[in-house]
C-alpha cells in the first residue's frame, strides 16, 4: 500500500491553532512589575507610597489666569472675593499680588530642585485660577497615573476646574507615562483627597468633590496592584483629605484632627502610624510635601508645628507660601508627584 504525502496545513483552518499554541500570550509579569515597565514604557513609573524619595513632579506656575479675580466681588460674609458663576474664590479682600505669587511658587520650585527633584510644567486655561493646584488633576499609582475628574464647572467657557484633566493628560503622554485609568461617567475625584498610608493601604476623602462613583473607579484601579482603599468622610464642606493628613515618613503622619473622623485615628494606630498633630491655629501646615522619608517641605508661619515635627525626628524645609495659600491651597496642593522611589 502506498502512503499518501502529508497534506500542507498552511492554508487550512487548523493552521493558526497549531502555530499559536507554541507562542501563547503571557499575563505575567504584571503590567506594573518593574521589568515590564522598563521593557514597554522605558522605565518604572508611578508612586507606591507618599514618602519615598521624590524623583519627578508636575507644577503649574501662576500666570495671567489670576487676573480673572475681580476686586469688586468681595463677600463680607466669608471675608473673601468670590464668583459663584465662574467658580473661583480668593481668601482676601484684595486681588492676588501676582508677582508675589510667582516669586513664592518659584521658591517652591527652587526648594524641589535643591532636593534633586526633576520638574515638568503643566499648562492651563486662562480662566482657571486654581490651575496652580496640580495635585488634583491626577493620581500616580504603581505603574502609571489615574486621570481625575474635577468637580467645579464654571458657566463661562474655560472657567472652573473641569478641563485641567486634558492639560495633565498631554503632559503625561509626552513623558511616556502610562495612563492606567481616566475617571469617567459621573465619577468625581480630585487628587488632593488621596493618600497612600503604606504600600498596601490608601485613603480617599469623601466630600462633595469626591463621590462614590469616583471612589469605586479608583478602588478598582488600586485593587489590580493589591492596594486596599479606605473611604474617609470629611467634615462639613472640607474639600480634600490633604487638609487633614499628609504622610511625612513611612510611619509618621502630620494631621489636623478637626478634619478627620475619630475612627480614622484608630486606623492609623492599627497601621503603626504615629500621628503628629498640627498646632491649633496652624492648620495650613498639614498641607506639606515629603521629598524623602522624614524630610518635608512645609509653608512658613507654623513654628509650633515645626517644633513638633522636629521632636518626632522629621526634618523641615520652610517655604514662604502665604500669597498662594490665599487661593485655597498649599504646597501639597501645588505639587503632583509622578515618580517616587519604592523604598
Task: State mean pLDDT over 27-42.
Answer: 96
Residue 277 CA to residue 286 CA, distance in Å, equals 9
Query: CA-to-CA distance for 111 and 173, rounded, in angstroms?
Result: 26
Q: Which segments of the chain are extended strands (E)?
A: 54-59, 74-75, 80-83, 88-90, 118-121, 138-141, 144-147, 179-182, 194-198, 201-206, 228-233, 245-249, 252-255, 274-277, 289-292, 295-299, 315-319, 336-340
For the cut 70, the answer to whether the pLDDT of residue 5 exceeds it is no
Q: Is 281 left (phi over 0), alpha (psi -120 to 50) or beta?
A: left
Tens digit of each residue's pLDDT (9 = 90 or more) over 218-233: 999 999 999 999 999 9
How do residues 282-295 score in pLDDT, each as one tens digit?
A: 999 999 999 999 99
* pLDDT, tens only, 182-194: 999 999 999 999 9
Residues 44-62 pLDDT 10s: 999 999 999 999 999 999 9
> How do the domains of the chain map onto residue ranges?
28-340
- Residue 343, pLDDT > 80, answer no
Q: Is the pLDDT of residue 2 over 90?
A: no
Ranges of beta strands (E only) in 52-103 are 54-59, 74-75, 80-83, 88-90
Residue 159 has pLDDT above 90, yes or no: no
- Say if residue 3's pLDDT is above 60: no
Average of pLDDT values for 95-106? 98
- pLDDT for the residue 12: 86
pLDDT digits (tens, 9 = 90+) for 163-208: 999 999 999 999 999 999 999 999 999 999 999 999 999 999 999 8
CA neighbor of 340 nearest in space, from 97, 142, 65? 142
Does the pLDDT at position 296 exceed 90? Answer: yes
Average pLDDT over residues 149-162: 86
pLDDT for residue 4: 53
- Name the architecture of domain 28-340: 5-stranded Propeller (3.75)
As a whole number, the mean pLDDT across the chain is 95
Amino acid at each position: 500500500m502506498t502512503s499518501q504525502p502529508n497534506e500542507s496545513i498552511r492554508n487550512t483552518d487548523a493552521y493558526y491553532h497549531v502555530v499559536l499554541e507554541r507562542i501563547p500570550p503571557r499575563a505575567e509579569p504584571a503590567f506594573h512589575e518593574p521589568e515590564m515597565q522598563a521593557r514597554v514604557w522605558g522605565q518604572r513609573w508611578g508612586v507606591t507610597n507618599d514618602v519615598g524619595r521624590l524623583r519627578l513632579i508636575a507644577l503649574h506656575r501662576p500666570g495671567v489666569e489670576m487676573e480673572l479675580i475681580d476686586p469688586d466681588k468681595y463677600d463680607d460674609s466669608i471675608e473673601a472675593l468670590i464668583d459663584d458663576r465662574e467658580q473661583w474664590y480668593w481668601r482676601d479682600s484684595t486681588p492676588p499680588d501676582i508677582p508675589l505669587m510667582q516669586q513664592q511658587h518659584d521658591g517652591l520650585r527652587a526648594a524641589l530642585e535643591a532636593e534633586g527633584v526633576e520638574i515638568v510644567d503643566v499648562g492651563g486655561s486662562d480662566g482657571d485660577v486654581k490651575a496652580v493646584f496640580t495635585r488634583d488633576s491626577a493620581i500616580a499609582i504603581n505603574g502609571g497615573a489615574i486621570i481625575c475628574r474635577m468637580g467645579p464647572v464654571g458657566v463661562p467657557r474655560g472657567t472652573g476646574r473641569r478641563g485641567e484633566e486634558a492639560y495633565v493628560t498631554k503632559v503625561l503622554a509626552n513623558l511616556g507615562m502610562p495612563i492606567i485609568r481616566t475617571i469617567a461617567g459621573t465619577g468625581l475625584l480630585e487628587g488632593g483627597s488621596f493618600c497612600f498610608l503604606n504600600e498596601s493601604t490608601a485613603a480617599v476623602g469623601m466630600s462633595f468633590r469626591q463621590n462614590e462613583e469616583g471612589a469605586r473607579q479608583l478602588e478598582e484601579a488600586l485593587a489590580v496592584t493589591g492596594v486596599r482603599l479606605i473611604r474617609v468622610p470629611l467634615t462639613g464642606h472640607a474639600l480634600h483629605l490633604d487638609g487633614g493628613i499628609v504622610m511625612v515618613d513611612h510611619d509618621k503622619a502630620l494631621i489636623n484632627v478637626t478634619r478627620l473622623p475619630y475612627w480614622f485615628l484608630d486606623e492609623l494606630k492599627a497601621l503603626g502610624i504615629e500621628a503628629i498633630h498640627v498646632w491649633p491655629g496652624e492648620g495650613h501646615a498639614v498641607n506639606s510635601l515629603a521629598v524623602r522619608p522624614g524630610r518635608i517641605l512645609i509653608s512658613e508661619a507654623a513654628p509650633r508645628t515645626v517644633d513638633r515635627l522636629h521632636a518626632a525626628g522629621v526634618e523641615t524645609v520652610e517655604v514662604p507660601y502665604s500669597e498662594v495659600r490665599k487661593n485655597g491651597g498649599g504646597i501639597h496642593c501645588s505639587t503632583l508627584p509622578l515618580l517616587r522611589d519604592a523604598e
